[in-house]
A and B are shown apart, each in its own frame.
Chain A
Amino acid sequence: MKTLYKLLTTAAFLLAGVLPLSAQNRTISGTVSDERGEPLAGATVVAASRSGSYAVTDSEGVFSLKTKAGETITVSYLGYDDYVFEVGDNDSYIVSMVPSEANVLNESVAIGYGTTTKKEVTGSVTSLKSDDFDLGSYTSATGMLQGKVAGLEVVNPNGGDPEASFQLLLRGTNTLKAGQGPLIIIDGVADADVRNINFQEVESVDVLKDGSAAAIYGTRGTNGVVIITTKRARTGTMTAQYDGQVSVQSVMSRARPMNAKEFEYTIKNFAPASVGSLYGADTDWFKEVTRTPVSHKHNLAVSGGTDKFSHRTVINFEQNQGLLKGNEARKWIFKTNVHQSILQGWLDLDYNLSYTLRTASPANSSIFRHAFLHNPTEPVYDPDDKENGGYFTVNAMDYSNPVALLNEETTKKKTGYLAANFRATLNILPVKGLKWDNFVSYSDEKYSSQSFKTSYYPGSVGKNGVASTSSDEYTSFQWESTIQYSRQFGDHSVQAILGYTWQQQTGWESNMKNYNFESDAYSYNNIGAGAALQEGLAEMGTYRSSSRYIAFFGRAMYNYKERYLLSVSLRRDGSSRFGSAHKWGWFPAVSAGWRISGEPWMENVKWIDELKLRAGFGVTGNQDFGNYKSLMLISASTNFFYNGEWVKAYGPSSNANPDLAWERKSEVNVGVDFSFLGGRLSGAFDFYYRHTKDLLYNYTVPVPPYDYNTIFTNVGSLSNLGVEFSLNAIPVKTRDFIWTSSLVLAHNENKLISFTNEEFKSAEYKVGKIATPVDAYTQRLIEGESLGTFYAPVYIGTGKSGADHFEDENSSGVVPEEKWQKIGCAYPDVTLGWTNTFRYKGLSLAFTLRSAIGGMVFNHYRAEFENVNQIGLKNILASWLDDTDFTGEIRYSSKYIEKASYLKLDNLTLAYEMKFKTKYINGLKVFFTAQNLFCLTPYSGVDPEVSLMGIEPGIESTSYYPRTRVFTLGASLTF
């Protein structure tokens, strides 16, 4: 590793060395120290005129620099504000750096195609820096946003799955069927996949929440925009940082079925008809398929350089084990970023090259469902049953031996992601503040998977092994060209941008499937050997598609004395996915701000540092859905015996909708930013109203006249209204001890305004279908009500006969659907996140609590399995024994719709940070983190925090991955 570091360092300096150096006429020197007077080693000292002169402080904080009089010198150090001074008569300077947090107002905020400062921003934007995130272990960088951004719900519905991704939902559900995730932009690349970066490399995350901020991204801005900036090349001494961690997981919660004793007792006493299902063994199926997972992650970053040439290179390796035996994901990332300034400052060049390799043995999460419902008196193995590979087997549909499911299938996935992008910025030096920026980005994702089900895999016994492979490739080419102008004219400050963007995405998918192999030993490695190919039963397919996205946009920002702020933007957006008459749309936005604290009459109010009123309006769209939905396509579906031979029968692929058009969301946002008492108390308050019209939805249509029973079309409208509040406080701050606390709080009200038009008149749709044996639609889409509203018969108690009773039930104990009542809504009333950090010298303790108050969740396990009639072939919930009076049939009712409020301790971290003044090691940080420590909730199921995405939120799945606690020990070493 050291050799590598040396090598990189040498290479970088050699390159930097060949750059021309202009003549100097003076040498100054100085000492740089931190707020406590301790010298800062490695701070960079740069002269402003692009003369190429720079210096780096040594371990005593001392620098010396050749320069000339009148030159402006900037001293910078990570985590501190830049210190700027002009070279005067003195040859010696004392520089005392101030930590950045003391002056958050000048922090830069990414606003899409540019940056501004926190002070000047007029939209609703949450900006987080790497320090704001909790330490710990994350399967994806977006997981770090959990509980950190008011109004952004970050949910991981897949628990301990090492490949789990987080679902992001900003300011409620604003669409019915198009995509709901925010647009993710990673280092300028739109629609990037967050799995291809590692969370330790995130420098900052900016969340554009309101319409006026997101409108610059037009059709893709409806669900907000998350701009992730990874750590970039920066000027300064060569530093290398290693981050490593090891984590273990333990089960936090799962649905508990009966054990063998309870199962036998229940059958003998309550379901004697099922005694045939007692097989005498005692098997804990959950234990049979799980293990204690251990994971580790390593990240090495090397960076440094001059203002003419700097770079950052990252090597990352992760291995994440899942709770399920054999379930594992690995990730390798190699990424390098080079920044170069040439032609005497005329041209800035920025190159990025990254390759991410992700491999996995994915989880078949239905194994958890099988492990739950499998009969605990069945043994795992039956050595005499050769036909089933020695697994104990009971033949029934949807009922398989979980251990056989686990052992007899091998699946490998591999994703290689290559991304290269290049930014060239032409600084038109004669016109101060004018530049022309061109960004070209290409990415290529190659995905392949192989799977083999042996001849003993339940459900394919008799097929003599089933092999399938798939190999997909997705490419994206993006070109963006902008002209930017930014200048201060006395009290007037202007920033303007004009741009064009063009993006083409293509997909290529191919798959093969074959079976009937001579031997399982082939696995998936000789797919042609399966005899099903010769029998005409092998499968083969390829599919290619592409989409194009084009936009013209402009934005102008103006402020007067940083007091009155105005921003106007307009975007003309086009997407190939829409009907021919609706390809293009206009997306305007305007926002304004008034920094009251900047008024002269506020100067005497010392306790107010910052007070700003903001208001904005913006229009955004959504094009996050599949290609070709507007076109009539014809494809071969099956075969027909025609004139003595089999021929393909052709038909329409789907119901085409040539009128497919934009969903348009308009949003008004009013907010206040404040900072009091010298930054000790700061925060923001926002109020918004969002209205989406021409909602896209798969409307049910009759057959005939249609060919299929749904059509994807624009019909309804909905709104979300809410408030968000965030507060950052420093309650205690002494020389050695600091307590920082930040709270985010949000409330959102969703309302489906209309769902009908001339053609689609049915004002009520039933959704949230729960399959048999529950067999009910749990939610209804009703005009005037929120999405996710549960309707059910109201449970009043269990009768003497053992059956459940309901309000308004008829003589056979059934409540007709029209008499079902509104039970509640899946969405929480309030969501909260509260992070606290206590720091004493190098020691810090931090915890994050997260809570949702209100909201309902459908307890699927309870409805299906807390019922003694289901016992026999399948196991049931052990909790049925708590109330054995209920012996009736499963009847969907309010009994199974429970309160979903919760309080979770997401993160508890103890960390110790040391700074060294040795020659090689500059800093060491060690930490111990416990994640998902507890969840306080009245909910009796697995986890009240279930997916809130889509139009059927709040329904717990029975094929879930169990929730786990994660304990991580980590270290970070700086060289």
Chain B
Amino acid sequence: MKKILYIFFGLALLSSCTNLDETIYSDLAKENFFINEESLSKYSARVYASLQDWATEQSYWTFDIQISDEVCVPHNPAGAWEDGGRYRQLQTHEIPNTNKLLLKAWNFCFNGISACNDVLDVFESVKKDFPGKDRVIAEVKVMRAYFYFCAICYWKDVPFAISKDLKNYPEKKDRAFVFNFIEQELKDNIDLLAVEPTIEYYGRATRAVADVLLAKLYLNSEWLTGTPRWADAEAACKDIMTANDGSSYYSLVDEYKDLFKVDNEFCPEGIMAIPYNTVYTTSDNHSFIIYMSTLPADLCPLFGINAKAWDGLVGQPDFLASYEDGDTRKSATWLYGQIYDKSGNPVIIEVNGEGVPYIIDPEIPEEALLGRRTALQGARIWKWEYQSDGSLVGNGDTSMDNEFYTMRYADVILMYLEAVLRQGKAADAAAMTAFDKIRDRAGLDHIAYADLTLDKLYLERSHELAVEGWHRQDMIRFGKYLDAWWNKPVKTEDDYNLPIPNDAIAANPKLK
């Protein structure tokens, strides 16, 4: 017995004398994490977490609203927002491949794609079956298709990878190839997705999300691949409009502002929501802080915001001028004209030592891009209601609470009308009723289908969906994107393609 003990202790001593295993304390090892079905679905949530990068300070969304004719960033009265000219380059469409904002837009797409590939690989390698697993996999594939769609709208060729193959870096594939992949992927998975938008599927890929993506894909097919697919677009929209036994699970809200208010969760018009939250999405690459980018610091107290906002992003004058008179969506989207305080009194601002009424003029001279605009020039974005409870603080340290609906039913209606109009077909009566409601809630007269033209539809889309991140592709599709606008010259079709960021090429030489 004694001998055995000696040997035992001897061996124990010897092995601990040479033991170099790492002990992990504050993270989880892979084998400790994937233990059950819950952990797998929690892991798939990283796909949606990467979607939260959509509306961060320098994001795909802020890129889209700046490169279209919606928003501009001239120097502010203090002379800030020069930053090496990166904002100006977006305005003039002279974007070098080293532009940081370009890289951020790229990262949104490809971080998302990579997260999807990783989740799919994990689902394959961790052999655990559970009910609904196929649906989770289908969701992830549809989200990957979404990120690819965002990518091909900006870049002519993109790296293509559908699994986490670390040895072979992705090859470059052209738009037509990726277009076909997205289409096939959506078609293959759409039937596996949830049809009814219950709370369980809120903020996740449902059948309607796949349909919106298909509709967007087909509508833009002409400039993306050279082949128009209007009928397919119509069918995809129709599927959303009739999925609930001939009618839609979605409906238009009565008040336009309700779509963007602070408590806009579970809005019946929303198809794809990115939920943001002051507490839960307050971290880098996840928070929605447009208030910091657009508001001047002196207006923050008016909104109950305890922050020194940066006073940068303002509406482009021509976009503001394009609204019809009486369109309430203009003042619901943009902050301009006389500013009033909470009690409704006009606010006074001090200019050169004198008090003048705080009246924001949407007009900005073109020289302001290189010079400076004044404090009273440039409409501010306030489409998403600013929460006034004092929880927006500091240097953009906290996220706004509003959900960002990237897909909504009004867009489906307008897409449907566009698809039938372009085919010269008659419009569905239910769609026209919905269109009338869109006009009604904007405070505008109805437009009869017979009077509807592509130009009218373009303006309708522009104003209904202003600064929601779809405008660039609308401009291209309606033939407006190559025109000149505020500080942007006429361009050729090469302008549909953005350069692949330098950093991405450095990481993967196959992208050269």
Q: Which of A127-135, A546-554, A598-606 contacts B (4 or more CB under 8 A)?
A: A546-554
B148-164 residues with Cβ-Cβ distance < 8 A to A are 159, 161, 163-164
> Can you list, as one digit per residue, whether each of B2-35 has a CB less than 8 Å from chain A (1) or not (0)?
0000000000000001111111111111100100
Asked if A775 is an interface residue, CB under 8 A from chain B, the answer is yes
**Contact call A634/B27, Cβ cutoff below 8 A:** yes
Asked if A118 is an interface residue, CB under 8 A from chain B, the answer is no
Q: Which of A88-96, A291-299, A536-544 contacts B (4 or more CB under 8 A)?
A: A536-544
Residue of A502, A574, A631, A637 near B49 (CB, 8 A) is: A637
**Contact call A632/B30, Cβ cutoff below 8 A:** yes
Asked if B484 is an interface residue, CB under 8 A from chain A, the answer is no
Please name the 4 residue pairs, one residue from A and one from B, whose CB atoms are nearest each other, closest first.
A462-B306, A772-B84, A702-B508, A536-B279
**Which residues of the partner chain A approach B173 to less than 8 Å between Cβ atoms?**
none
> Can you list, as one digit per residue, whether each of B74-115 has a CB less than 8 Å from chain A (1) or not (0)?
001111101111100000000000101000000100110111
Residue of B29, B100, B300 near A634 (CB, 8 A) is: B29
**Contact call B275/A641, Cβ cutoff below 8 A:** yes
14 A-B residue pairs with Cβ-Cβ distance under 8 Å, sorted by A, are A462-B305, A542-B26, A550-B18, A577-B22, A633-B27, A634-B27, A650-B46, A653-B27, A702-B507, A707-B118, A761-B509, A772-B100, A773-B83, A773-B85
Could you list which residues of chain B lie within 8 angstroms of chain A, going by C-beta atoms? 17-30, 33, 39, 42-43, 45-46, 48-49, 52, 76-80, 82-86, 98, 100, 107, 110-111, 113-115, 117-118, 159, 161, 163-170, 199-200, 202-203, 275, 277-283, 286, 296-298, 300-301, 305-311, 371-372, 391, 393-395, 397-398, 503-504, 506-509, 511
Residue of A537, A548, A628, A640 near B27 (CB, 8 A) is: A628
Asked if A446 is an interface residue, CB under 8 A from chain B, the answer is no
A260-282 residues with Cβ-Cβ distance < 8 A to B are 273-274, 276-277
Could you list which residues of chain A lie within 8 angstroms of chain B, going by C-beta atoms? 273-274, 276-277, 387, 394-397, 399, 458-464, 466, 500, 502, 515-516, 535-537, 542-548, 550, 574-577, 583-584, 627-628, 630-635, 637-644, 646-653, 700-707, 709, 759, 761-762, 765-766, 771-775, 872-874
**Which residues of the partner chain A approach B98 to less than 8 Å between Cβ atoms?**
775
* Distance (whole angstroms) from the CB of A629 to the closest CB of chain B: 10
Which residue of chain B is the closest to A770 with respect to CB atoms? B84
Residue of A274, A459, A535, A537 near B308 (CB, 8 A) is: A459
- Complex Cα–Cα for A575 and B18 (A): 10
Most chain A Cβ neighbours within 10 Å, of B45, B161, B170, B503:
B45
Residue of B79, B111, B200, B398 near A277 (CB, 8 A) is: B79
- Complex Cα–Cα for A641 and B398 (A): 17
**Contact call B161/A550, Cβ cutoff below 8 A:** no
- Complex Cα–Cα for A709 and B98 (A): 16
- Complex Cα–Cα for A464 and B397 (A): 13
- Complex Cα–Cα for A394 and B78 (A): 8
**Which residues of the partner chain B approach A545 to less than 8 Å between Cβ atoms?**
25-26
- Complex Cα–Cα for A906 and B61 (A): 55
**Which residues of the partner chain A approach B45 to less than 8 Å between Cβ atoms?**
640, 642, 647-650
**Contact call B28/A634, Cβ cutoff below 8 A:** yes
**Contact call B83/A772, Cβ cutoff below 8 A:** yes
**Contact call B46/A651, Cβ cutoff below 8 A:** yes
A-B contact count (CB 8 A): 240
- Complex Cα–Cα for A774 and B82 (A): 11
**Contact call A638/B503, Cβ cutoff below 8 A:** no
* Distance (whole angstroms) from the CB of B364 to the closest CB of chain A: 15
Residue of A652, A766, A772 near B86 (CB, 8 A) is: A772
**Contact call A641/B202, Cβ cutoff below 8 A:** yes
* Distance (whole angstroms) from the CB of A219 to the closest CB of chain B: 12
**Contact call A651/B394, Cβ cutoff below 8 A:** no
* Distance (whole angstroms) from the CB of A874 to the closest CB of chain B: 8
**Contact call B307/A462, Cβ cutoff below 8 A:** yes
**Contact call B83/A638, Cβ cutoff below 8 A:** no
* Distance (whole angstroms) from the CB of A548 to the closest CB of chain B: 6
**Contact call A650/B170, Cβ cutoff below 8 A:** no
**Are A700 and B286 also in contact (CB < 8 A) when A276-B372, A395-B311, A647-B45 are?**
no
**Which residues of the partner chain B approach A548 to less than 8 Å between Cβ atoms?**
19-20
**Contact call B78/A395, Cβ cutoff below 8 A:** yes
- Complex Cα–Cα for A765 and B169 (A): 18
**Contact call A537/B306, Cβ cutoff below 8 A:** no
**Contact call A631/B22, Cβ cutoff below 8 A:** yes
- Complex Cα–Cα for A874 and B308 (A): 18
**Contact call A703/B277, Cβ cutoff below 8 A:** no
**Contact call A638/B33, Cβ cutoff below 8 A:** no
**Contact call B84/A650, Cβ cutoff below 8 A:** no
**Contact call B46/A649, Cβ cutoff below 8 A:** yes
**Which residues of the partner chain B approach A872 to less than 8 Å between Cβ atoms?**
79
- Complex Cα–Cα for A574 and B300 (A): 58
Which residue of chain B is the closest to A630 with respect to CB atoms? B22
**Which residues of the partner chain B approach A703 to less than 8 Å between Cβ atoms?**
107, 110-111, 114, 507
- Complex Cα–Cα for A633 and B85 (A): 39
**Are A461 and B280 also in contact (CB < 8 A) when A574-B20, A633-B28 are?**
no
Most chain A Cβ neighbours within 10 Å, of B19, B26, B85, B170:
B26
Residue of A460, A575, A637, A762 near B46 (CB, 8 A) is: A637
- Complex Cα–Cα for A638 and B118 (A): 17
**Are A537 and B25 also in contact (CB < 8 A) when A649-B42, A704-B164 are?**
no
**Which residues of the partner chain A approach B82 to less than 8 Å between Cβ atoms?**
772-773
**Which residues of the partner chain A approach B199 to less than 8 Å between Cβ atoms?**
643-644
**Which residues of the partner chain A approach B165 to less than 8 Å between Cβ atoms?**
705
- Complex Cα–Cα for A723 and B26 (A): 47
**Which residues of the partner chain A approach B297 to less than 8 Å between Cβ atoms?**
395
* Distance (whole angstroms) from the CB of B52 to the closest CB of chain A: 7
- Complex Cα–Cα for A461 and B307 (A): 6
**Which residues of the partner chain A approach B24 to less than 8 Å between Cβ atoms?**
628, 631, 633
- Complex Cα–Cα for A643 and B45 (A): 12
**Which residues of the partner chain A approach B168 to less than 8 Å between Cβ atoms?**
705
* Distance (whole angstroms) from the CB of B482 to the closest CB of chain A: 22
Which residue of chain A is the closest to B275 with respect to CB atoms? A641
- Complex Cα–Cα for A643 and B198 (A): 9
Known: A396-B76, A631-B29, A704-B117. 16 other contacts (CB 8 A): A396-B80, A460-B395, A462-B300, A462-B306, A548-B20, A550-B20, A576-B21, A632-B29, A640-B48, A644-B199, A646-B279, A649-B46, A650-B42, A650-B45, A704-B170, A707-B118
**Contact call A397/B20, Cβ cutoff below 8 A:** no
**Contact call B277/A646, Cβ cutoff below 8 A:** yes
- Complex Cα–Cα for A640 and B508 (A): 31
**Contact call A638/B161, Cβ cutoff below 8 A:** no
- Complex Cα–Cα for A779 and B278 (A): 41
**Contact call A638/B111, Cβ cutoff below 8 A:** no
**Contact call B27/A635, Cβ cutoff below 8 A:** yes
**Contact call B506/A700, Cβ cutoff below 8 A:** yes
**Contact call A576/B22, Cβ cutoff below 8 A:** yes
**Contact call B22/A634, Cβ cutoff below 8 A:** no
Residue of B76, B169, B282, B305 near A705 (CB, 8 A) is: B169
* Distance (whole angstroms) from the CB of A509 to the closest CB of chain B: 9
**Which residues of the partner chain B approach A583 to less than 8 Å between Cβ atoms?**
20
**Are A576 and B20 also in contact (CB < 8 A) when A704-B159, A772-B86 are?**
yes
**Contact call A766/B20, Cβ cutoff below 8 A:** no
**Contact call A705/B79, Cβ cutoff below 8 A:** no
**Which residues of the partner chain A approach B19 to less than 8 Å between Cβ atoms?**
548
**Which residues of the partner chain A approach B46 to less than 8 Å between Cβ atoms?**
637, 649-651
**Which residues of the partner chain B approach A627 to less than 8 Å between Cβ atoms?**
22
**Contact call B25/A399, Cβ cutoff below 8 A:** no
Residue of A537, A709, A771 near B507 (CB, 8 A) is: A709
**Contact call A641/B395, Cβ cutoff below 8 A:** no
**Contact call A705/B161, Cβ cutoff below 8 A:** yes
**Which residues of the partner chain A approach B18 to less than 8 Å between Cβ atoms?**
550, 574
- Complex Cα–Cα for A274 and B75 (A): 11
Residue of B298, B301, B371, B393 near A273 (CB, 8 A) is: B371
- Complex Cα–Cα for A963 and B163 (A): 54
**Contact call A762/B27, Cβ cutoff below 8 A:** no
**Are A705 and B78 also in contact (CB < 8 A) when A461-B306, A574-B18, A649-B45 are?**
no
Residue of B78, B84, B110 near A396 (CB, 8 A) is: B78
- Complex Cα–Cα for A563 and B165 (A): 61
